[in-house]
Amino acid sequence: MKILVSGGLGFIGSALIRSLLNNEDYQILNIDKCSYASMPEALEGRESLKNYSFKKIDIKNASEVESAIAEFKPNKIFHLAAESHVDRSISAPKEFLDTNILGTFNILESIRGNFSNLPENFILIHVSTDEVYGSLKFDESLFNELSSYAPNSPYSASKASSDLLVRAWNKTYGIKAAITNCSNNYGPWQNPEKLIPKTIFNAINKKPIPIYGKGVNIRDWLHVTDHVEALIKISDTHENYSKYNIGGNQEMANIDLVKEICSHLDKKIPIDTSYFDLITYVDDRLGHDLRYAIDASKLAEDHNFKPKYMIKDGIKETVDWYISNLKWMQSKII
């Protein structure tokens, strides 16, 4: 089984590769452009494995993507390479369009160009986000796989566009594909620009912990290892085209999540005052979606998937991991 992972030096991609490498029968090729968000250290010790290889490739470069796919002839591609931070997409959207839309187009065209040389049953797993569905009111029912797309940020618009390209390449050219829309992930090796590691880093360094608006915005949270397990299960589907929401069914307001982290830190590394005192409300993010929440029952039914982590335990474990990796976090602060 040959598996190509794009964006395998990122937060979720590296977790996926760590999990796939548990199976010695898998040959893994990781392609990643090594952007600021990449973390080769998350795969430390794996570089020398016989069944792992890495190529520095920017998916915007069509010919490099094409050669990698033509030479490796994967059975599966997990496509995760993307610009992923909403705030960056608001201040500088172009790279999001270039990587997330054109990069996905390059991957699809490279598959199409090599289709007859790829193994039978080749599948593309396109890893996307629940943010493509837009925002829910507090009392609205959950997004399911048939909910319409209504992205509100340049990031989510670029991901929504890439989902639609994957769908079209399946319907038009018959490329077998699964599109997955997952809720917010947390766990080790997440770039400290994101809410959870940023909160931990600022708290430990006794800096203000910024929280947008009133902190009421709700997200559904899933541990990254649960996400990875779901992706691997979905990749074994026999369906020619499928779409799955992946979520933890664990909604939490941002302020409650931050307080949960502060409360754990208060016990773990007590200070004279409390980490709660560092919470600082800042101007809301432009176009800030109020609530994301998804119905992941299709995944549960089709693939017998149930997240292993409950958010409260997962958060404690995650905080402990970042405490043990403070130097690494410091090295990622730009």
Q: Which of 183, 202, 189, 301 is nearest to 261 (CA)?
A: 202
Residue nearer to ligand NAD on the CB measure, 176 or 332: 332
Radius of gyration of the chain measured on its C-alpha atoms: 19
Residues in contact with ligand NAD, shown as a per-residue x/- string from 99 to 118 under the rule CB under 6 A: x---x---------------
- Please list the alpha-helical segments (H only) found in the chain: 11-20, 62-72, 86-91, 94-96, 104-113, 154-173, 195-204, 224-234, 254-268, 297-303, 311-324, 326-332
The yes-or-no answer on residue 292 being catalytic is no
Residues in contact with ligand NAD, shown as a per-residue x/- string from 271 to 300 under the rule CB under 6 A: ------------------------------
Residues in contact with ligand NAD, shown as a per-residue x/- string from 17 to 56 under the rule CB under 6 A: ---------------xxxx-xx------------------
State yes or no: residue 13 binds ligand NAD (CB under 6 A).
Answer: yes
Residue nearer to ligand NAD on the CB measure, 11 or 52: 11
The yes-or-no answer on residue 155 being catalytic is yes
State which residue has the least CB distance to ligand NAD.
10
State yes or no: residue 197 binds ligand NAD (CB under 6 A).
Answer: no
Say whether 212 sits in a helix, a strand or coil.
Answer: strand
Question: Taking phi first (over 0 means left), then psi (-120 to 50 degrees means alpha), and beta for anything else, what does residue 212 get?
Answer: beta
Q: Contact, 123 vs 76, CB < 8 A?
A: yes
Q: Which of 114, 185, 202, 242 binds ligand NAD (CB under 6 A)?
A: 185
State yes or no: residue 247 binds ligand NAD (CB under 6 A).
Answer: no
The yes-or-no answer on residue 58 being catalytic is no
From first CA to last CA, the distance across the chain in angstroms is 38
State yes or no: residue 332 binds ligand NAD (CB under 6 A).
Answer: no
Report d(CA 128, CA 124) in Å as an integer.
12
